[in-house]
Amino acid sequence: MCGIMGYAGDKEAADIIIDGLENLEYRGYDSAGLAVNDNGDIKTAKTVGSPSGLRPTASGIKGRVGIGHTRWATHGAASLENAHPHASVSGMFSVVHNGIIENYEELRSGLEAQGVVFRSETDTEVIAHLLEKHYKGDLKGAVREVLPLLSGSYALGILCEDYPDVIVCAKLSSPLFAGTVGECGYLASDVSVLSGRCTRIYRLNDGEIGFLKAGSFKVFDSDGCRLRKTEIKIRSLSMDADRAGYRHYMLKEIYEQPAAVRRTLAGIISGEHRIKPGFLKMSDREIKGINKVRFVACGSAYHVGLVGAYVTERLFKRSSEACIASEFRYMHPCMDESTLVVIISQSGETADTLAAMRLAQSEGVKVVSIVNVESSTIAMESDKLIMTRADREIAVATTKAYSAQLAAVYALVIYLAERSGELDKREAARLLRGLMEIPDKQERILSSGFDYSSVTDRLISSGYVCFIGRGLDYCSALEASLKLKEVSYIRCEAYAAGELKHGTISLVDKNSLIIALGCCSGLRAKTLANVKETQARGAGVIYITGGDDDDAYENVIRIPRCEDIFYPLLEIIPMQLSAYHTALKLGREIDKPRNLAKSVTVE
Ligand code: G6P
């Protein structure tokens, strides 16, 4: 979603802010803007599109304290008027905001009734006007009065002309960090932007109000009392944001999957193919008492949850399901002390996933989180945490974080199955060995030199594209379809192969392309029977298999054999590469597809 960057120091702010916004661009790239307080005169620059578009106008803006924003449009189109920062009527206040003010219509009507003329369609603008209305010369007082009027979520950076050396910041359910180094203070919605720039980094908590100045950061609670903040340590975040010769981050990250899986597993499994002592710290009694496992996540992480549910049923022998976090949080889910909720999130900031986790925690349910960003809200609020070690993922469409999540889920389920006695130790060790062999097999796929051009041609020329599979192949089909639509914008869907006959087959004709994932050995013959039904109606077929029974197909992608349950870690790679090469051929913005954001911090 949107990104915030602020600077208060001894250097010109505009360039520093634009550099930071460029680092944050993956979060939102519809429009961008900045405001700099030049000794009591706030000057603003805005652009539609990338933050780099700010450079020409911002070069004339002088001042050492400023705020910037990269926007992912929610309220109002991507336009200069709707780009942040938003100013109050007199220009006394300038505000950048991540999140959604849910009661903004009511606040806006109230302000309009008092004669305020709005310049944008955003929910954010109400904040600037409210600050001006409540301001009587005391900045902290005005902020303390306005924050309780806002409902929804926010991370805010605020400038006030009367306080030329200060950025005020506050948050509710949306991340915000401040950092200092020497005589400089930085503000950012994403800690990765601060980790290379600051020696001390602080996480602002809900309800706190921060005052950032050159080299100092003071924080107050909602009653205005000074708080003593402890700095946070950033360990796992690699700042390697270099494409390393790859044309796109997505391609680089696809190739980084073996390393991401190896690192993740190395944190969990010992050289003897045993889960390391101390993993999750759950007693055998606690594990045996689990009756139901619910995997809760969004997007690709939800597809990981689906794999988790299938594998849980098979190995841990407990009833299990994957839930979309935005559904789970409002479905009044039945949970009790025998339920285990597994939260999966790359960013650790996805608003719905975070809310789902808090809901489960509030009901006293056991929660395990699988997260890639150690300093994220989900990681910080989790009692039982499994870190994926995919390192920083830049491309919006996830690839290596997805694989790392899968690896963590497999390790978790094998651990639960062994500790509960459902899986004997030798079988658990055999499976863990098989899991640890997966990165080598991923490398074989990546280095196979397979030519994707005929696949991409078929994808581009087909009128209807459908991915099918059964069981775990179906989970991969869902992820394959999501990947293709995210980066190529080709309309496609995924179906459980056996379900095709129940309606969707009516779409199949000679212009259709069926991509059949048939890796899981027990189900391959059944999937192939469904493929035949589509061929009988003229459809073209691309077949992905771990077997040898496939000579009848024109386009076959073979992947190395592995334990059936681990195929999702292999079969997704040719699907990711097909999506990538198709998007490349279509000239899409591969790393930053239209309308998408890497981290979805609003619900
Ligand atoms: C966005 C991203 C997806 C990701 C999903 C969940 O939609 O574009 O790649 O799977 O959010 O994100 P999370 O950070 O919670 O894994």
State both tokens at 346.
Answer: 């790359």
Residue of minimum CA distance from atom 15 in ligand 1: 345
pLDDT score at 192: 84
* Averaged pLDDT of the chain: 94
- In the predicted model, is pLDDT for residue 238 greater than 70? no
CB atoms under 10 Å from CB of 549, counted, come to 12
Which of 12-26, 66-80, 432-446 is modeled with the greatest confidence? 432-446
Taking a C-beta distance cutoff of 8 angstroms, is the pair 566, 441 a contact?
no
Please give the DSSP secondary-structure letter assigned to residue 164. T
Amino acid code (one letter) for 470: R
Q: How confident is the model at residue 239 (pLDDT cuts 50, 70, 90)?
A: very low
Instruction: Assess whether the C-beta atom of 556 lies below 6 angstroms from ligand 1.
Output: no
CA distance 593 to 488: 8
Taking a C-beta distance cutoff of 8 angstroms, is the pair 377, 232 a contact?
no
Q: What is the mean pLDDT of the segment spanning 366-374?
A: 96
CA distance 423 to 418: 5
CA distance 337 to 587: 51
Among 2, 184, 298, 492, the one annotated catalytic = 2
CATH superfamily of 249-436: Glucose-6-phosphate isomerase like protein; domain 1 (3.40.50.10490)
Instruction: Assess whether the C-beta atom of 377 lies below 6 angstroms from ligand 1.
Output: no
Q: What is the mean pLDDT of the segment spanning 161-168?
A: 98
Buried b (16+ CB within 10 A) or exposed e, 109-145: ebbeeeebeeebebbbbbbbbbbbbebeeebeebbbb
Distance 390 CA to ligand 1 centre (A): 14
* CA-to-CA separations, 98 to 3, 44, 69, in angstroms, rounded: 7, 18, 9
Instruction: Assess whether the C-beta atom of 345 lies below 6 angstroms from ligand 1.
Output: yes
State yes or no: cis peptide before 439, omega within 30 of 0.
no
Distance 355 CA to ligand 1 centre (A): 15
Q: List pLDDT tens digits, range 85-141.
A: 999 999 999 999 999 999 999 999 999 999 999 999 999 999 999 999 999 999 999
Q: List pLDDT tens digits, range 188-231.
A: 998 888 988 999 999 999 999 999 999 899 999 999 999 999 99
Q: Which CATH architecture has domain 3-227?
A: 4-Layer Sandwich (3.60)
- Dihedral over Cα of 325, 331, 332, 338: its sign: negative
Strand ranges in 372-497 using DSSP code E only, listed in sequence order:
384-387, 464-469, 492-496
CA distance 211 to 338: 45
- CATH of span 453-586: 3.40.50.10490
Distance 596 CA to ligand 1 centre (A): 10
2 included as an active-site residue: yes
pLDDT score at 236: 44
- What are the sequence ranges of the domains in the chain? 3-227, 249-436, 453-586
pLDDT score at 23: 87
Q: List pLDDT tens digits, range 9-57.
A: 999 999 999 999 998 887 778 899 999 999 999 999 999 998 999 999 8
598 included as an active-site residue: yes
Q: Do domains 249-436 and 453-586 have the same CATH topology?
A: yes
